[in-house]
Structure 1
């Protein structure tokens, strides 16, 4: 930028602006000057164009729009001199993305620079192609870039850039870059002596072998030779030595490439590689220089990953663990963190647990580290290394640490302590002690699943019942106990308190008194449990204790008129049952044993997050025996992989007061159409066979009544067309508008609206959270339609941009209006098209729903059982997983229901549910705020009654879960014509927020321990 005084002055002016308004005025003035100069080609010299394009780039960096100058920037690429060409390449790569149309104009110029002889121009062109990486560039320029890479006449600088450019093109568009037969060429590139070209080629190799390692098996010994060369510091220039370490980045890339290959079979290659790894392990230590530590540790940890991948000998594994043990004992927190994290990764290696146990005291010390990230890694490591031999020590340490742990860690800490106590309990009484201590110390952070689980154990083990009842009674003597402790104590004492009758202070009357003291302190959901306990205590006192009976009946009478239905029903029923004598004892008999199933706690912990130690936890869960009772799950869990890495983002909200749900929707009436005068179909040339037919059984045109605002036809749903205001004019509607809208919700083209004067059709294309619709408006008359207006009333969750509609549609002509749609967040709200036109003296206006519905942003996804079940278990419950018993369902056969799901892009995954009457489905939802979110669903049908089913829907976003559940429910329930509209009437109540939980149905009690206990209580 030498000599560009005007640019320097402009930048100084911007920096001296006192406020944003002054800056905007200065920028507007400069933009006006640039526009004027660009229009006057006679005075626009290459120097001035370069200066103005630099100014445009600076203005763009400030956040202002400079679209008008894109062409000038692209035109500089073809300049003959380097300064102008450099500016063109730099500014173009900054201003334009891969989908910009102007880039197509520059492809030939860029290609000429790539295949030319000027190395400076080649480097500029390769940099532009690598930075943008579009499909057009990949298809047109990839062969030329490949030729540059393998050319022997090009300097290393150009070949290095060619390798990085090809890497970018392959990553962005692997199908557009032809790499067939490139194995031999890659092997030749790995023999390069120049470390710059070699490093870039190794990066390209990592991408290639990650896609297909079998084709590049000849490159494996080459990678080992690279590591040998670097380990021995042979022929490594000084500029590639970083703090005495020969090219650490190349060492890391070579070892990463080796991890994509299976175990090395060749003995000499394997021996050479292990010698290199041994040298790395022996030569790495902690020093004071931070930069050297970073480089050497990057190499070391990649070597550790390679050692684990190759299943090395036990001596080398022991050496790795010993080295990591030194790391977790140093003062530097970053190094301690890396040591703990990599020791957790080492748990994936078989028979390494005993070696790691030697460092248990150091790991427990890290649990008290001031840095919370180190404490988290120590907790993960303790959880993964625990077994029967050290479970007591580790769980006691976790309980001791629980009292001082941060609130952000206590929930995870409680869950992991409960799981370890369950899996490795030496006896069940110790397990009960641990869980009760856990609830006592961290009640707010103990999920219901934990106390559900201890109740299951106590119920299924008769020898444990007196001990559990005694411990529960002890905790009730405390002045203040957590509500969760009240729940578990009340349940256990209600079931087994009579086993303590001979102990002092444990009579039914005394148990009632001490429990009743807690009643004023508990919330509404706990009261039903206490009422059940009172009834149980009364039942166990035979003959009845008059005093106790009087007190219990008084409580029941008190709650007979409670506003909470659950409490009221229990109080009334228990009061009446307690008068029945033997029938009372039969109804409140002791709870039966729970069916055997695997713990939901273990599944919840293993798939709660996708971290490096999850594979180790899964492996340990399969290898380690458990002394505790295992309650079986009907779903397969053995060998389940980690969750799919579909980015899961949360935090989206629902706007129930959007425009679409506040528009009024009185039903319109329809007039009879003269069958002798068929109306022309002006959209037939565009829609053709894609035009949507009315579904079988739809109301025919002859059934339609006269249209107008004054009357309404009960047999026709007018929800798709909403008259704006009262008018004396009437118009005849052709076809059922509601059915057309519902059909367009499942298809992407068809007729949305038609009357004798106009026909409105839609063609749509959907990709991710973007959509592009085209509205086709055809005038069917020989006279023009005037005063045409179309306005979009968008809901809050959609961004819509409708191109202007012409004021007049000529006779027998058709106009098109594109509509861009962007989905911001999940919602079932629909956009409304406020449309009106004038024919003669008549004004016709209507509000039409646009079929940009929730399912348009779903992408079908077929999952296998290994992919589905880990994701399903990771969704622990409300609000991420919601369940509802749906009644009034259209009686569809199972294949028809599967076709319905597939039609709105929720893919049925066959064979995942062992029950042939159930359906399991999956899909991916896209929105700007959430990204791509995996959605799962399970439909359980009743063969005896096809009008009801149980539906469970889950996703990583609570709003999406609720909206998708309601959307599927709408598709399944019979919708009588004329009785329901998707656009609510004005003044109607907003959509309810997602429910916290659904009451369990009888069918649910067989699958979920938590649901079973809730139902029984």
Structure 2
């Protein structure tokens, strides 16, 4: 566009502002006239809009051009439409007449067949959307572009990012689209890495809004990470200096940190934990082993991935060996010339160290000199982070060395950090002190060095600890007295000495008169606040030393006319108090300071990021016990004697300083029961309700046709669990005492590819604190299954104790194959599935045990059932054998009855089972089941399971 180029040249050649303004105004007049022509071509409109854009970007105000930009955005030519949308994004103002027209243009382009037009509309929408008006108007169309099977990867990527922008301005969008996560999650494993990056960003944002919606994404993210980091599956376009997809890798690391905020509260299953440890191990070892002679870009990328892996490792707690290697590698990065690299390395080390993992702390302590050298870094952020790291890695073994070095640093640090350093020294000294004298000496040095930059909380906390401990009162008074006597002291030392000498000065061998003279000489050199403390201290001296009373009274009378209202009021009150003829009130006022009851140091709240890190990453390890203040724990007899609390005080106060410490036998039933017969029962005696297991009609909603596979596998140990036109699930069960080993094989029957396959085994336990069973995932299915291929899922269900049939796990399956497919199936992991055949018994032994079990409370269940169709005795016997019972012959006198035994080997203990099934020769649909177990309540559960099975085979 030559006209545009010439216009820009004229503007640049303008020597004065007035000349530029005249050129702009003349051009605006020309453009306005051209817009009024009815036959203006799209090319010229585009050229004039570009000129308006340039004028607008120069800072000139425009009064026209919006309607022409809207007309250009509605063009059928891509170059014109792109300029139109660009102009709208700058000119657009929220006016009703403009909104309707622009929204109509966006709607038309989102529904257009050309993906270029769709992309332009998505880009414009994501750049201008700033209220929920946009999300409600376009969320359905954007979501449809994501889930449409004909949308290209480019369109879906831009649609995902647009949806992310809409979600940021309207978080309720996720509640209006319940299938949003299920649709976006499979895109994590898409072959287009750009689309994967977009999907990861969207999932991470949704997880921050509602973590429960995204729990199924953990497996998909780990599978993608494993392919990139371990298998090195990456297209050449996403290889960067030999490192496969570093941006996607780190984004996946960050997503996993969001999905697993606390591995203790939300533990990963065994399969996922194995995968994440493998990925972290490979990422760290690869970063460490790469050649040192790399370009700056390659080194930055390597460090980028390493820091992401270490940050994730701090969440999932990998093996100590890998943590140690990672910590050592990060310490090496502290020598980097790049400020960002040093900062990120310190941040990652702080996360690792916050877990209080002993080997990691030992490794970091080997580089303590390097960390201390960063306290003098030119960047204040690096200095602050290195100070935080020093605080985190400090313990009772290193506290003296670190406090000494921090005190040396405090004397030379800049004013902005003096307060932070002083607070951390004070907390460390209190937290890990093992020697009372060292603690008091360190705190006195801190007050002397920090001077007026010391927070009042530090002095107040020291006073609290001294008051609560007799053994350190005299040393504290001696040190404060010597500090004032030296002649160089900050005002905070004056206030501390005034309190200590007034309260405990009588314990020194120095006469009170000399102590008073020292404090009196400081009085007129201090501020009002310090004078107030000194006046209160002098009142104590008045009581303890009669020789000083005239001087103190004279001072009170003199200061009664002070310009300070605070000093004047104190002096008047103290003068009146000492002038009373009866000294009982005075003695009551100046009584010894009572013990402080504060449980937590007020300085802890000043730790900032350090406190957040320790709360986020703290491990429940014995080593972590050292995080409690050593001045607030029970005494260990192996350590030197700590400062003892004063006898008149509560010795259990948290401020009292101390040091670290650190199958059943099967019973016999009634013999008379053996002669029972069902021939005389009528239908009126039968009960069709089970008290232990509800009807399947009352179960949660499952996928259609789930019953066929459920009862097939309740009957057998292998077979088809589920099948439809798209895929088939084969089932295999192996019993091993209390453990049920399941293997599900997912086969793709469709001509397309199944993507984003997730299978979650969800427990439906009533009592989650003492569960009846525990599910352990051994292997997740692969998320992608090509046509005529299969993927296997393996997991174990360990039966701990009896549980109801309605508590059995359910399997939630989700995948995309052209459209989103979701299934919820019921897993037949009933407690009876761990049944194994009991020992063959003779007739006498059987009935002896039968009568024994009858005496147990809740050990028997008897139920008469009517089947939907007649069942022969042979089939019934075979069903009991397949269930796990051992059939006993020649036990019952009635040849139509079935007698069997079984043993349930639960983790909490075994249970023996004896059962009789009485049939009715006149009606093969009627049965009476009598089952006795050695565990109370188990018989009801098993009878309910058998009734359910017999009704549905």
> What TM-score does the superposition give when structure 2 sets the normalisation length?
0.61
In the alignment, what sits opposite 1:228?
A: 226
Aligned mates of 1:610, 1:110 — CA distance in 2: 49
In the alignment, what sits opposite 1:320?
A: 326
Query: Does 2:302 align with 1:303?
Result: no
Q: After superposition, give the CA deviation of every residue in 1:493-531 in whole Å (9 maximum; x if it has no partner).
A: 12222222xx3xx32222222222222321122222222
Displacement after TM superposition at 1:265 (Å): 4.4
Change (3 A) 1:611 1:349: closer
Aligned mates of 1:30, 1:611 — CA distance in 2: 59
| Correspondent of 2:259 among 261, 267, 273 | 261
2:355–2:619 Cα contact (<8 Å) kept: no
Query: Does 2:95 align with 1:87?
Result: no
Displacement after TM superposition at 1:59 (Å): 2.3
Change (3 A) 1:86 1:4: farther
Query: Structure 2 unaligned runs (5+)?
Result: 634-648, 655-953
1:236–1:246 Cα contact (<8 Å) kept: yes
Matches within 5 A, 1:906-945: none
Change (3 A) 1:540 1:167: same
Matches within 5 A, 1:478-627: 478-500=486-508, 503=509, 506-541=510-545, 544-545=546-547, 548-580=548-580, 582-583=583-584, 585-607=586-608, 615=616, 624-627=627-630
Aligned mates of 1:370, 1:208 — CA distance in 2: 39
Displacement after TM superposition at 1:416 (Å): 1.0
Q: CA RMSD in A?
A: 3.1
Query: Does 2:413 align with 1:405?
Result: yes
1:560–1:569 Cα contact (<8 Å) kept: yes
Matches within 5 A, 1:409-488: 409-488=417-496
Displacement after TM superposition at 1:22 (Å): 4.7
Matches within 5 A, 1:119-130: 119-130=115-126
Q: After superposition, give the CA deviation of every residue in 1:384-409 in whole Å (9 maximum; x if it has no partner).
A: 12222222121111111111111111
In the alignment, what sits opposite 1:651?
A: none
| Correspondent of 1:118 among 114, 129, 132 | 114
Q: After superposition, give the CA deviation of every residue in 1:192-226 in whole Å (9 maximum; x if it has no partner).
A: 32223333233333233333444444433332222
Change (3 A) 1:617 1:601: farther
Change (3 A) 1:248 1:560: same
Change (3 A) 1:468 1:125: same
Change (3 A) 1:309 1:143: same
1:427–1:627 Cα contact (<8 Å) kept: no
In the alignment, what sits opposite 1:10?
A: 7
2:118–2:155 Cα contact (<8 Å) kept: yes
Change (3 A) 1:291 1:465: same
| Correspondent of 1:279 among 271, 278, 282 | 282
In the alignment, what sits opposite 1:642?
A: none
Query: Does 2:53 align with 1:47?
Result: no
Change (3 A) 1:176 1:626: closer
Displacement after TM superposition at 1:446 (Å): 0.4
Displacement after TM superposition at 1:557 (Å): 2.6
Aligned mates of 2:61, 2:618 — CA distance in 1: 51
Change (3 A) 1:23 1:526: farther
1:493–1:533 Cα contact (<8 Å) kept: yes
1:231–1:246 Cα contact (<8 Å) kept: yes
1:344–1:616 Cα contact (<8 Å) kept: no
Secondary structure of 2:64's partner?
helix
Secondary structure of 1:455's partner?
helix
Change (3 A) 1:462 1:197: closer
Aligned mates of 1:146, 1:219 — CA distance in 2: 19
Secondary structure of 2:258's partner?
coil
In the alignment, what sits opposite 1:891?
A: none
Pairs aligned (count): 621
Q: After superposition, give the CA deviation of every residue in 1:227-255 in whole Å (9 maximum; x if it has no partner).
A: 22222565522221111111111112222
Query: Does 2:344 align with 1:344?
Result: no
Displacement after TM superposition at 1:476 (Å): 1.0
Secondary structure of 2:517's partner?
helix
Change (3 A) 1:175 1:287: farther
Displacement after TM superposition at 1:410 (Å): 0.5
Aligned mates of 2:314, 2:618 — CA distance in 1: 16
Change (3 A) 1:417 1:84: same
Aligned mates of 2:294, 2:93 — CA distance in 1: 45
1:231–1:279 Cα contact (<8 Å) kept: yes
Aligned mates of 2:232, 2:357 — CA distance in 1: 37
In the alignment, what sits opposite 2:887?
A: none
Change (3 A) 1:268 1:472: closer
Query: Does 2:216 align with 1:210?
Result: no
Secondary structure of 1:517's partner?
helix
Change (3 A) 1:88 1:194: same
Secondary structure of 2:332's partner?
helix
Change (3 A) 1:532 1:183: closer
| Correspondent of 2:395 among 387, 390, 395 | 387
Aligned mates of 1:530, 1:621 — CA distance in 2: 43
Change (3 A) 1:192 1:599: closer
Change (3 A) 1:277 1:47: same
Displacement after TM superposition at 1:92 (Å): 1.0
Displacement after TM superposition at 1:304 (Å): 1.6
1:233–1:246 Cα contact (<8 Å) kept: no
Displacement after TM superposition at 1:343 (Å): 0.8
1:93–1:132 Cα contact (<8 Å) kept: yes
Displacement after TM superposition at 1:617 (Å): 8.4
Q: After superposition, give the CA deviation of every residue in 1:722-752 in whole Å (9 maximum; x if it has no partner).
A: xxxxxxxxxxxxxxxxxxxxxxxxxxxxxxx
2:443–2:462 Cα contact (<8 Å) kept: yes
Displacement after TM superposition at 1:56 (Å): 2.1
Q: After superposition, give the CA deviation of every residue in 1:301-329 in whole Å (9 maximum; x if it has no partner).
A: 22222222223222222222222232235
In the alignment, what sits opposite 1:170?
A: 167
> What TM-score does the superposition give when structure 1 sets the normalisation length?
0.57
Secondary structure of 1:527's partner?
helix
In the alignment, what sits opposite 2:831?
A: none
Query: Structure 1 unaligned runs (5+)?
Result: 637-1017
| Correspondent of 1:66 among 62, 66, 71 | 62
| Correspondent of 1:245 among 228, 243, 249 | 243
Change (3 A) 1:189 1:453: closer
Displacement after TM superposition at 1:592 (Å): 2.5
Aligned mates of 2:27, 2:524 — CA distance in 1: 73
Matches within 5 A, 1:927-966: none
Aligned mates of 1:292, 1:314 — CA distance in 2: 28
Displacement after TM superposition at 1:440 (Å): 0.8
Query: Does 2:179 align with 1:147?
Result: no
1:104–1:136 Cα contact (<8 Å) kept: no
Aligned mates of 1:433, 1:627 — CA distance in 2: 16
Aligned mates of 2:619, 2:585 — CA distance in 1: 47
Query: Larger C-alpha radius of gyration, 1 or 2?
Result: 2
| Correspondent of 1:132 among 124, 128, 131 | 128
Change (3 A) 1:100 1:284: farther
Aligned mates of 1:602, 1:549 — CA distance in 2: 38
Secondary structure of 1:275's partner?
helix
Aligned mates of 1:210, 1:579 — CA distance in 2: 68
